[in-house]
Structure 1
Amino acid sequence: MTLACRIHGARDLRLEADDEAPLAPTDVELRLGAAGICGSDLHYYLHGRVGAFVIREPLIPGHEASGVVLRVGAAVTRVQPGMKVAINPSHPCGQCDYCRVGRDNLCRNMRFLGSASVYPHVQGMFRERFVMGERQLTPVHEDISLGELACAEPLSIGLHGVNRAGPLLGKTVLVAGAGTIGCMTVIAARLAGAARVIVTDIADRPLRMATEVGADESIRSDQVAPADLVELADVAIEAAGNLGALQTCLSATRRGGRIVQVGTLPADDIAFPANNIMARELDYVGAFRAGLEFDWAVSFLRTRRVDVRPLMSAQLPLERAVEAFELAADRKRSTKVQLVCDS
């Protein structure tokens, strides 16, 4: 029996025994290396839901993780015991119409780790040991920490949002929200050739972190006049999951520009700004999870083209999961908090 972290409802997180999973021929058993607590994990912990995804049975959260290989199935060829791996939390079917046209992040039969989007829920990786299919693993031989590898998934979200924004070479990009995803979006915009990256938030520490990873300018959106946030950028990316951040994007995007919504907004009482979008000919697009960008993220990390270490605030053992969640929820003290397993 091993230890697992389960959320039973809002602020009801329990450390419980976890049964050993069977190992199919193409499966790999892993020991948890590091696993980041992300915004959706926090929503499950604090509210028992993320947008329309409501916890209906105990859920093991966690979809940003790295691991160390313990055992392999008889048909596994790409990894061996002792290897460290990055773990892609997406498990698309590969057969539906979306998968066949290369948009597997929109798969009709997606199994996304640590998510209540389907029932029974897809259990995640906040546990000491777990089994993954070989195709979800990328072996990494370079001298890079398990904590950094666990950042591949949030980096892939930033990369996907920027990919949905279209060509950014020479453009001004505004990122609304300077949490982990906002900071990863800053990094991605820089990789895409943005000439200027502006970040807005309502707290000082996140803005400092965004500046550290490459933002040219940071703005406390709650401390400036609305007129100061008008038509600043060619592209705006909503990375906070907040209606105020969306309003900032609507104001800050120049006529004919594009807004990309990456954050998950509240499920109810959203007034869609159709006339604003129409009259100013704005493109409004969504960015959901990631596809091939996960592989890009692992490559950027392992070659040190991207350095995510400034965003890694703390690592706590799985046994201190409640403490870790509370720390992750405090934006004045943390950016990325990870759970780790040393056994």
Structure 2
Amino acid sequence: MILKQLYIFFSLGSGKSKEMYQNSSEPLSNPAYFTIEGLSDIPGLWFPIFIVFLFIYLIIILGNASIFCVVSCNSHLHTPMYFFLMNLSVMDIAYTSTILPKLLNMLVTKNNTISFWGCIYQMYFFLAMACAEVLLLTSMAYDRYVAICHPLHYVILMSLKKSAGLAMTAWTIGFVDPSGHAVLISKLSFCTSNLINHFFCDVIPLLKISCSDNSKVELINYLEGGLILSAAFMLTLVSYIFIISTIMKIKSAEGRRKAFSTCSSHLTCVVIFYGTIICLYMRPTTSYTPKYDKFIALLYAVLVPVLNPVIYSLKNQEIKSAFVKLKTKLV
């Protein structure tokens, strides 16, 4: 049994077709493979979609890797704010890499199958990175709160050691939290269909094709996911209430502008990320509409990682200056 599961896992994207699965003697209640519907059923669109997503993926990799390199290579950027930004860049690369390479492979090979355990692992790592990013964004909000509301105590309250502890906590909880989802979903029966109406393996599309009782998975989705998401959102919201209140008390318009500019990039990313996550996950599976959910999933799975380096590069003068210095050294 262990050897069989290992074989299924390493066969992710190995070339099994939908017809081969359907002709298999494997019972549908324990499928060896799922078939992912993808983004479009129109044959003529596969090449433009492939080009667009290849371009987007390259931007995500190069943009976030550039942010990481610029921050790590400039000693004056070795502060908690930019330390969190480095972690955010790594998370964006990691969680888009759980879905986009497979999606690009499906577009090129026309092979939309994914092994059962490959699907479970893809779902798990995607949820892990998304959860870790939520907590990291919360830590970044707290960092901006301390910097603006308690500037004289910033060095004490936000030392690099404490920042590393917050980042490590985000990574740890991120990998622990979705393990319950993965275990419970791996035990479900899929006796009606193996077709996932999505462009990657996600919780809601998998629950829709399961014929088992999904109440436990939905309960853990609301309790664990809802608790972490709600707590992170409330902490972020409270941080920005204090931040905005402090900024409004600054007498000069120039002082208010400079203070707000230090957190505008983070606030923009928070609004986009939380907005799409809440719209997609915090609702019952009965309200699931595939086309709408694919669009929302594209926003937080693709748009947010693309925008993060762009937003921080355009709105942060220190990052701009660091880019120029690094370019000068390289030339």
- TM-score, scaled to structure 1: 0.25
Q: Per residue, is there more strand in 1 or in 2? A: 1
User: Which one has more relative contact order, counting CA pairs under 8 Å at least 6 apart?
Assistant: 2
